[in-house]
Amino acid sequence: MSGWFVGSGAASGGRRGALVLLAVVAGLSACSSSSGGSSPTPSPGSTSPFSPATSSFSGSPPSALASLASSAQAAVSSAAASASAAAASFEASVSAGRAQAQASASAALAAVAGGGNALGEVTITGVPIATTGGLNAVVVTIANSTLKTASYAVQVDFTDTTGHTVDSAVVGAENVAPGEKAMPVAFSAKSRGVALVPVVTRAVRY
């Protein structure tokens, strides 16, 4: 009896071992079959690197910064063109009809040495650059304080912050009655957009 019991136990143990081996082989086969298919999708909590397929991409995405830069450049160009047009319009409006008076004023200044005899009768007032297209301009107020009708010639220098003269303008007023005023405009077409200091350097009554 004891011999049968031992043999029976060995046979039983062999059968159990065979069953375990079959189970392991079946599991490996299932894993192999699964790995032959599509790649598993990473779980939300997975830290494995993931790269999307780029074969369907074409071109390059628009750049917001490039678009903003382009818009800003267009705005600056438009503003510059508008300022240039405004400056040209202002210059034309001031120059219209004053050629004769300016020629007479230049001749009168050339005939007189020094600052002239009418510096005390002249004042200047700045013109806002918003109305001049960036040009430096002043209204020259000439007040005839004498008892006779007179003509005037005035030179205005436009200087930088160091006192260097960048440009000069000559304006004139003819036949100003006693006690009356004339208000020609002097401007500089140089250094548009740069603030210059206007100074009356010469004024002649003739």
CATH class of the domain comprising 90-205 = mainly beta
Interval 43-80: pLDDT, tens: 555 555 555 555 555 555 556 666 666 667 666 666 66
User: Taking a C-beta distance cutoff of 8 angstroms, is the pair 140, 124 a contact?
Assistant: yes
For the range 85-88, what are the long-range contacts, defined as Cβ-Cβ under 8 Å and sequence gap of 24 or more? 85/133, 86/131, 86/132, 86/133, 86/134, 87/132, 87/133, 87/134, 87/135, 87/189, 87/192, 88/133
Interval 126-182: pLDDT, tens: 999 889 999 999 999 999 999 999 999 999 999 999 999 999 999 999 999 999 999
- pTM of the model as a whole: 0.57
Domain definitions of the chain by residue range: 90-205
